[in-house]
């Protein structure tokens, strides 16, 4: 029963786009129970990113936000939505020019 509910979320779990805690809340079960079920299903997560990869991701995020903040065709709200951050963050990038 629970296995069938989990199956659509397995790719997101493996790619670390969804945490066990968030999925457990969504399904209304405990996190420990969800972990046992995932273990039964042999779901293995991708390894956690290394520090070098994390730094590269952070740098890429900063570049994206700076590019979107400096795009004159976008409003602040549109840039924030595309960058996945707050409008205040976009204002900071605009003022940093």
The domain tally of the chain equals: 2
Query: Domain check: are 62 and 81 in the same one?
Result: yes
In this structure, is residue 84 part of a structural domain?
yes
pLDDT by residue for the chain (97 residues), tens digit each? Answer: 677 888 888 887 877 777 888 888 888 889 898 888 888 888 877 777 778 888 888 899 999 999 999 998 999 999 999 999 999 999 999 988 6
56, 27: one domain: no
Does this model's pTM top 0.85? My answer is no
Q: Is 45 a member of any domain?
A: no
Same domain, 23 and 55: no
Q: What is the DSSP string of the chain?
A: -HHHHHGGGHHHHHTTSS-HHHHHHHHTS-HHHHHHHHHHTT--PPPPPPHHHHHHHHHHHHHHHHHHHH-TTS-HHHHHHHHTS-HHHHHHHHHT-
Q: Clarify whether residues 55 and 34 are in a common domain.
A: no
Q: Which domain covers residue 36, as residue numbers?
A: 2-40
Q: Are residues 89 and 56 in the same domain?
A: yes
């Amino acid at each position: 029963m629970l296995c069938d509910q989990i199956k659509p979320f397995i790719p997101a779990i493996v790619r670390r786009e969804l945490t066990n805690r968030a999925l457990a809340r969504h399904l209304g079960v405990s996190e420990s129970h969800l972990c046992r079920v995932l273990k039964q299903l042999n779901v293995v997560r991708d390894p956690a990113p290394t520090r070098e990869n994390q730094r590269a991701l952070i740098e890429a995020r900063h570049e994206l936000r700076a590019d979107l903040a400096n795009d004159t065709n976008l409003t602040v709200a549109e840039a924030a939505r595309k960058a996945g951050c707050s409008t205040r963050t976009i204002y900071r990038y605009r003022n940093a020019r």
